[in-house]
């Protein structure tokens, strides 16, 4: 399959999964009949528990097939009367008529609501979601084209001329040999990417991520107070995302203790959206395997969907009670695995939507800000992210629509750290912020 066809399938993944609802078995049967897929493929696909999952598996399998796969898929969709989906794939913008009841997204000319409420209409309900790779607007500090603008203050990308150190609080008991050395100040570099508005070629232009500027402002202020130099980018393309990641990965970190990054955008499993298309997360994080960051922690925070499934809740056993709410490295000759010292924190687990309030910000980012401000002076990062999981898990969506009302979310932390990370604030405990979301 040609790269442009794979990109088209990826760009319209959500629309296809929803539009083929209740047609998945017919689609895969015809793909088998036309020799695009095998009987084994069919058995694997129909084993999936929902039609959305079946359709996702169809698309994943389709991208690995030969040059005739895309055209055959188009013919099958046309034969089944799903012409609105073929129009999307072929770029026929004049004939795009995706049914809102299938898609769930607001139409381009629909006025989006600004709060999560019980009166949310069907076309507005997914405006609060971060899907495939967000209304308080930013102050006008960005450049005229809206790119590479800062929320405030100048960017700090050069090696600082004067370094300070941060002392460990006397009341914290831990073994320094089990912790990353985080005494330098500035402590590290922090890359913040905030994509709110999208270009037509991304397929996401109608789905403005309202509320994301609140998240960006909170994360910027948090990591500045934790001693990081922040570089902020707003509404940037895939090329510009790659450029920003590569630049940050190749800078001199000899006078820094860590690197951290936060991306706020639409997404799907394993991918993020620039304003004009998608990029693989693995491609971006791979830039940071160089020697300049060897032995130093690299933290990534992703607020984006990882699929198109709603997450339901499960009731606990009624018998259960409710619960209330370092030192220098061991020398320069050490050899470490290339994947060591990475931490990935995702707003949701693979396959599921990630929720965001269009005024107050996302559940995940606001929980991070609340927890880090409360505990950074006495708790390591992994423990704090466990507290974040707890907060996120208590939330329920408020859309008033049966398919999406009272849905849940749980964030996901993947750690390849060798030691504990303490981000002791340089000037003492931070001002606590109780998130109102």
Given a cut of 60, is residue 133 above it in pLDDT? no
The verdict on whether 266 is a catalytic residue reads yes
Average pLDDT along the chain: 78
Query: Residue 240 has what pLDDT?
Result: 97
C-alpha span between 155 and 141 (Å, rounded): 12
Asked whether residue 31 carries a pLDDT value surpassing 50, the answer given is yes
Interval 141-180: pLDDT, tens: 322 223 233 333 334 444 455 556 666 664 565 677 899 9
CA 31 – CA 44 distance, rounded (Å): 14
| CA-wise closest residue to 425 among 157, 161, 155, 167 | 167
- 437 vs 354, more confident: 354
β-bridge mates for residue 259, sequence order: 189, 298
Mean pLDDT is lowest, of 227-241, 311-325, 385-399, for: 311-325
Which residue has tokens 């931490």?
343
3-state helix, strand, coil in the chain (%, to 5): 35, 15, 50
CA 288 from chain center: how many Å?
Answer: 18
Mean pLDDT lowest among 14-18, 241-245, 311-315, 386-390? 311-315
Which of the following is catalytic: 305, 377, 406, 427? 305
> What is the arithmetic mean of pLDDT over 345-361?
90
Catalytic residue list contains 377: no
The answer to whether the pTM exceeds 0.85 is no
CA distances from 375 to 61, 173, 289, 348, 382 (A): 45, 15, 29, 22, 11
Which position among 266, 377, 405, 406 bears the catalytic label? 266
Q: Is the pLDDT of residue 327 over 70?
A: no
Would you state the pLDDT for residue 171? Answer: 54
C-alpha atoms less than 13 angstroms from C-alpha of 78 in its C-beta half-sphere:
10
* Residues above pLDDT 70, as percent of the chain: 73
Residues 6+ apart with CB under 8 A from 112: 106, 124, 127, 208, 210, 358
Q: Which helix (H) or strand (E) covers residue 165, if one does? A: strand 164-165
For residue 242, pLDDT beyond 70: yes
Strands ordered across the beta sheet of 188-194:
228-234, 188-194, 258-264, 298-303, 342-346, 412-415
- For residue 273, report the phi and psi dihedrals to the nearest 5 degrees: -100, 130
């Amino acid at each position: 399959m040609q790269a442009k066809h794979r990109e088209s399938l990826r760009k319209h993944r959500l629309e296809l999964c929803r539009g083929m609802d209740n047609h998945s078995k017919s689609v895969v049967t015809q793909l088998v009949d036309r020799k695009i897929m095998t009987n084994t493929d069919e058995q694997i696909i129909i084993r999936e528990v929902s039609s959305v999952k079946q359709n996702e598996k169809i698309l994943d399998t389709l991208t690995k097939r030969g040059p005739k796969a895309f055209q055959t898929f188009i013919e099958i969709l046309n034969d089944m009367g799903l012409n609105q989906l073929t129009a999307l794939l072929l770029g026929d913008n004049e004939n795009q008529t995706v049914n809102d009841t299938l898609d769930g997204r607001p139409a381009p000319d629909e006025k989006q609501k600004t709060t999560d409420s019980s009166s949310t209409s069907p076309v507005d309900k997914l405006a609060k979601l971060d899907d495939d790779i967000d209304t308080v607007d930013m102050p006008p500090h960005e450049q005229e084209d809206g790119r590479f603008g800062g929320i405030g203050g100048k960017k700090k990308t050069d090696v600082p001329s004067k370094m300070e150190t941060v002392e460990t609080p006397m009341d914290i008991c831990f073994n320094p040999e089990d912790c990353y050395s985080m005494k330098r100040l500035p402590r590290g570099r922090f890359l913040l990417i905030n994509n709110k508005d999208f270009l037509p070629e991304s397929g996401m232009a109608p789905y403005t991520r309202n509320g994301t500027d609140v998240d960006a402002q909170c994360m910027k202020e948090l990591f500045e107070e934790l001693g990081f130099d922040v570089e902020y980018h707003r509404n940037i393309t895939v090329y510009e995302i790659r450029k920003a990641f590569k630049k940050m990965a190749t800078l001199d970190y000899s006078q820094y203790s860590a690197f951290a990054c936060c991306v706020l955008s639409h997404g799907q499993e394993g991918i993020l959206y620039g304003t004009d298309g998608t990029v693989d997360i693995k491609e971006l994080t791979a830039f940071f395997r160089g020697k300049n960051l060897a032995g130093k922690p690299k933290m990534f925070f992703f607020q984006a969907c990882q699929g198109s499934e709603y997450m339901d809740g499960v009731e606990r056993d009624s018998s259960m009670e409710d619960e209330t709410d370092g030192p220098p490295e061991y020398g320069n000759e050490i050899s470490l695995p290339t994947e060591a010292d990475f931490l990935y924190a995702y707003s949701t687990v693979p396959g599921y939507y990630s929720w965001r309030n269009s005024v107050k910000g996302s559940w995940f980012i606001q929980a991070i800000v609340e927890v880090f401000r409360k505990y950074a002076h006495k708790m390591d990062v992994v423990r704090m992210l466990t507290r974040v999981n707890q907060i996120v898990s208590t939330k329920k969506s408020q859309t008033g629509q049966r398919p999406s009302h009272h849905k849940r979310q749980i964030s996901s932390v993947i750690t390849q750290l060798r030691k504990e990370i303490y981000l002791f604030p340089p000037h003492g405990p931070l001002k606590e912020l109780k998130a109102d979301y």
